[in-house]
Structure 1
């Protein structure tokens, strides 16, 4: 599977991607919002200008009554604020809606991660509400609030 956006390509993680993804997830600007995963299996790498710059993942609820998909993403700090993450989220969202048949997508950034929230809003995600004490900060052990955002298929930009 390879998904092409306006700026990025999303493809499955290869064994050779692990080292660069490990470096990215340990960058202070990334580590503030992401705990380093045990492995990157099941993720899609984000490729920009022939360079691996991050990873995205999705999960799907397939129960017909509650069918939806959720998205997560991280990017190297060098690409923050350049539209790369927005394009990656939009590309994955389009695939989940048009190819996988989801009518609703969710994403749940930390409530304090204003840059991510701004990026997801550009794709069409809208705030649903604050999830109090939602995720434990792996660096401090303190609970932080999350913002639940969702996107209906017809709202996808």
Structure 2
């Protein structure tokens, strides 16, 4: 995969050397509360890098690592689409960098990979993420009840959102 340049952020293929910085971001309380995971976050990120079905891109602001955006594709021609997931350093929140990262990847998946539909599934109570994705053109599809287990062991709802190629806000 090539390097993608957004208005502000750069998305580049994640390297093994990025894992410690990304694990530190995933370990922040704000990110940890939203991303599931066990005790070895570095091992989980390294496993994502080895998963042939997941493409991982490091998000940089300038030359500083601020997070990771991932995507996967359903290639069955009758259901073809791509899904996106993202985490950013809380120090980067509220500056439009997440919106830029999602928009940059969405445009790439539509324009280069030919996807007509993209999905993303934030926690239903993650208003900041929902607002970010909405700015790119994602729309709510519906609530996925008891979709993911939280750190406290209880089930939490997720919001399925999708974006059609002609709806992206460029």
When the two structures are superposed, what TM-score results if normalisation uses the length of structure 1? 0.97
Separation in structure 1 between the aligned mates of residue 84 and residue 148 of structure 2, nearest angstrom? 16
SS of structure 2 residue aligned to 1:29 = helix
The counterpart of 1:95, out of the listed 108, 117, 127, is: 108
Question: Alpha-carbon deviation of 1:15?
Answer: 1.6
The counterpart of 1:108, out of the listed 95, 118, 121, is: 121
Separation in structure 2 between the aligned mates of residue 74 and residue 68 of structure 1, nearest angstrom? 21
SS of structure 1 residue aligned to 2:102 = helix
Over the aligned positions, Cα root-mean-square deviation in angstroms equals 0.9
Question: Alpha-carbon deviation of 1:55?
Answer: 0.1
Question: Alpha-carbon deviation of 1:70?
Answer: 0.3
Aligned to 1:134: 147
Question: Alpha-carbon deviation of 1:16?
Answer: 1.3
Aligned to 2:4: 3
Question: Alpha-carbon deviation of 1:39?
Answer: 2.2
When the two structures are superposed, what TM-score results if normalisation uses the length of structure 2? 0.89
Separation in structure 2 between the aligned mates of residue 100 and residue 136 of structure 1, nearest angstrom? 32
Q: Which runs of 5+ in 2 are unaligned?
A: 50-54
In the TM superposition, structure 1's runs of 4+ consecutive aligned residues that sit over 4 Å from their partners are none
Aligned to 2:165: 153
Q: How many residues align?
A: 156
For structure 1, which segment, 39-48 or 64-73, has the greater mean C-alpha deviation from structure 2 after superposition? 39-48
Separation in structure 1 between the aligned mates of residue 85 and residue 120 of structure 2, nearest angstrom? 7
Aligned to 1:144: 156
Question: Alpha-carbon deviation of 1:126?
Answer: 0.3
Question: Alpha-carbon deviation of 1:125?
Answer: 0.2
Separation in structure 2 between the aligned mates of residue 15 and residue 39 of structure 1, nearest angstrom? 9
Question: Alpha-carbon deviation of 1:14?
Answer: 1.2
Question: Alpha-carbon deviation of 1:35?
Answer: 2.2
Aligned to 2:31: 30
Separation in structure 2 between the aligned mates of residue 118 and residue 39 of structure 1, nearest angstrom? 26
Q: Which runs of 5+ in 1 are unaligned?
A: none
Q: Deviations over 1:61-83 (max 9, x none)?
A: 11111110000000000011100
Separation in structure 2 between the aligned mates of residue 39 and residue 32 of structure 1, nearest angstrom? 16
Is 1:71 aligned with 2:84? yes
